[in-house]
A = this chain, B = another copy of it.
Amino acid sequence: MAGEILFFKGTKSCVIFLAFCLVATCLLAEAEVHNLTWEVSYQYKSLDCYKKLAIAINGETPGPTINATEGDTIIVNVKNNLLMENLAIHWHGIRQIGTPWSDGTDGVSQCGTMPGDTFVYQFVVDKAGTYMYHSHYGMQRESGLYGLIEVSVPSGTKEPFTYDGEHGVVLSDWYHSSSYEQATGLTSIPYVWIGEPQSLLINGRGKYDCANLSASVCNAANPECAPSSFTVVPGETYRFRIASLTSLSALSFQIEGHNMTVVEADGNYVEPFATENLYIYAGETYSVLVTANQSSSRNYWITTNVVSRNASTPIGQAILNYYPNQNLIPPNTTPPPGPLWNDVDARKNQSLAIEARQGYIQIPPHPDKVIVLLNTQNKVDGYTKWAINNVSHTLPETPYLIALKKNWLDVFDQTPAPESYDYENYDIYSVQNNTNATTSSSIYRLEFNSTVDVILQNANTMTANNSETHPWHLHGHDFWVLGFGDGKYDMKNNDANYKFKNPIMKNTVPLHPYGWTALRFQANNPGIWLFHCHIEAHFLLGMLVLFESGSSMVSVPPQANMGCGKTKSLMQP
């Protein structure tokens, strides 16, 4: 029953005819089913010329791009060919309406899929736009298990902009240490920070400086690390679908000599604006239009650079190839270094510039409640953590979705998660003791269909004069981006602080240093959903919360989602 509804999502008239038409006929006419088979394994890759293990899907890192049309059903049979490591894959930006068990989040929607096992994800891509997928298991994303999802508008439907061709761009940062090494340092006493990435990759290609390393370890001539190139025909306009899959880095993206017009963000249309550089945070996607209107006698640099952290990481480079020039001929110009890492105002201005496109504005309903989330770095029992309202989250061994359905009260902390902090007395500009910081698996329970405002409040870290940028991502929903501001959010004058003019909907939004970000969403997708900082290390250290709503309306997840924690008690030997 659920499956049938899924197949016809977006074509309601067809549902009416369900009893009269054969399913197959209806599918052919209305929506396609993409049945993909993926084998996930470790492979040696030289993505930035330095040879190290990466996780590959069917041999590729990043994985294959999923191309589909709005309303299509995606079935991905994920075979775990890792030797000892489990996995879970999240379909980032896909709301999983009616299919919360396919959200691919370890500890929330499923147990990890064990080596040798196959997990079948099935979901509908119900909204055109640019999305991504990536591992949501431990720090596994860091190993390269990610890729793009490109969803086109249905045939006969027009987008509010035109272009002649398109290119997919996966931006990521790349470490030479393993996810195990990183995680061990982060969870040790003394705390060992992962440091800045060795490289930035554009479609899985970067350039590490191989000087002083043997060619068997690092070979600059390896074709695997030749720069990505994007071919354009002079005079034509291209849509670049850009996703940031970084573990840590906030990025700027630029194309030498070309302006970009931003038209889409996280699957929602943006009132177009032009920019020389696109700021993009981990978990965000954008579409920009680029017209090949420069001299066609040469190629141009495409670069990406780290912002918001004073990183030593060199810029990532690719080539905009003007047809019919050879695609790998590098321009003899200096690659644009991108904006200064510490130009916070420029980044805030871009955040404020992103509005919903005229004709696509969805008016948010009035909120039923406000939750304020203070973001802090903390120490708990000597371990460095990140916490929300002084609670650093620990995921339970048994996935929440199953625990909720089975009413297992002992699986997670039943105390309600804190909805605010001591905002009158907390000084966000200084290092705070946070002596009452703790860990918990508690959740926020929201009334189904209620509308909730969430205020993300940034603060100083445990280092003086330091506040970081956190890209927050919500599963299962888009939210309205109501506003950004500096300093402490004024709880007494909510609306006055909101931007609120044609707010765009997104699924990921930055929280800027020492600032606040306000967003609103409708808890209208039955289940339990992560809301978290998309920096891999921050997530590992507890920078996440969970929103439950209407989970009683969801059926029990399939057997495939089980196998860990208390779910074993469901087995009848």
Contacts and interface: CB of A to CB of B under 8 A. Distances in A.
Interface of A: 41-44, 53, 83-86, 111-112, 114-117, 137-140, 178-181, 183-185, 187-188, 192, 396-397, 405, 540, 556-560, 562-565, 567-573
Contact of A565 (B53, B111, B116, B396): B116
B84 A184 contact: no
Given A44-B185, A86-B86, A139-B83, A117 B564 contact: yes
Given A114-B114, A572-B572, A43 B184 contact: yes
A559 B563 contact: no
A390 to B, nearest CB: 24
A448 to B, nearest CB: 22
A397 B184 contact: no
26 contacts: A42-B183, A44-B185, A83-B138, A83-B179, A83-B180, A83-B183, A84-B179, A84-B180, A85-B85, A86-B86, A86-B115, A112-B114, A112-B115, A114-B565, A116-B397, A116-B565, A117-B397, A178-B180, A180-B180, A556-B573, A557-B573, A558-B573, A559-B571, A559-B573, A563-B564, A571-B572
Given A114-B112, A178-B178, A184-B53, A84 B83 contact: no
Given A560-B568, A567-B571, A572-B572, A53 B180 contact: yes
Contacts of A139: 83-84
A300 B352 CA distance: 74
Given A86-B86, A562-B571, 13 more contacts: A42-B183, A42-B184, A53-B184, A83-B540, A84-B137, A84-B180, A117-B564, A117-B565, A178-B180, A405-B573, A563-B567, A563-B568, A571-B572
A397 B83 CA distance: 12
Nearest to A184: B42
Contacts of A86: 84-86, 114-115
Contacts of A179: 83-84
A356 B113 CA distance: 48
Contacts of A562: 563, 568, 571, 573
A114 B556 contact: no
Nearest to A567: B571
Contacts of A112: 84, 114-115
A111 B181 CA distance: 25
A188 B43 contact: yes
A134 to B, nearest CB: 14
Interface centre among A114, A183, A558 (most CB of B within 10 A): A114
Interface centre among A140, A180, A570 (most CB of B within 10 A): A180
Nearest to A179: B84
B568 A138 contact: no
B117 A114 contact: no
Contacts of A540: 83
